[in-house]
Each structure stands twice: as structure tokens, then as C-alpha cells.
Amino acid sequence: MHYYQFNIGDYASHTRYLSMLEDLAYRRLLDLYYLQEKPIPLDDPQDFIGMNECSTDVERVLNAYFVRTEKGWVNKRVDAEIQAYKGKKKQASDAGKKSGEVRRVNKDANVERPLNDR
């Protein structure tokens, strides 16, 4: 996913207590999660977001906003957004294929057009 909706009010109300580095870590973790469409890796997640010196801050954010699983760090809201995106993408793809098929069938039908009276 190269785009996700960002609700400024929700984000601000849920992250007011974070330090600047924790806030940065959270945004970068969200961006990584959305971009890769998979959980944050368990091994050295700070390396994947360019915050090698801030492992404590990254760990705090992960523990506050993500759940550790055997697949990696997951976030319910992000997973729901990704699933909704994939559903819309599939729906749009199916509609495009159907539209293309209708156009192809109509083109192949050799419909005779009436002549212009001129």
C-alpha cells in the first residue's frame, strides 16, 4: 500500500503522551507496516525504520501499539485497513475485467451502424 488515510485528530489524541522520538518511531512503524503489508519483524525492528540508536523508544511504541506474535508485531487497525484496501482493489479489478470483456464482446459482434443521411 502506498497510501493510507491518516486521521490527524485520532492520532493526536492517542499519541499526546509520546516523546518526539517515540512519535517518530510510531509513524515510521506505521509507514513500514502499510508499505510492506505485513507485520513488523521481531528481530531488530529499529533497524528497519532507521532508528538504530533508539531501540528503547521503538520498544516502548511496539509494546504500546502493537501485539507481538510469532509472525511479527501486528496492529489490528492496520490489518483491518489493509484488508479493506485489498477488498476494494479486488473489486475494482473484477469490475475492470468485466467491463473489458463487455467491450470486447461488443467489438467482436460487428454491429452494423446506420449510414449518415448526408
The pLDDT tens digits for 67-76 are 999 999 999 9
Nearest Cα neighbor of 33 from 71, 79, 65, 85 is: 79
The per-residue pLDDT for range 78-103, each reduced to its tens digit, is 999 999 988 776 666 666 776 767 67
Average pLDDT over residues 43-55: 95
Q: Kindly report, residue by residue over 50-73, the tens digit of the pLDDT.
A: 999 999 999 999 999 999 999 999
Q: What is the pLDDT of residue 52?
A: 94
Phi, psi of 72 (to 5 degrees): 140, -170
Q: For residue 93, what pLDDT is reported?
A: 64
Query: How far, CA to CA in Å, does 17 sit from each of 20, 58, 66, 75?
Result: 9, 15, 17, 19
Residue 73: the pLDDT is 97
Instruction: Give domain limits for the chain.
Output: 8-107
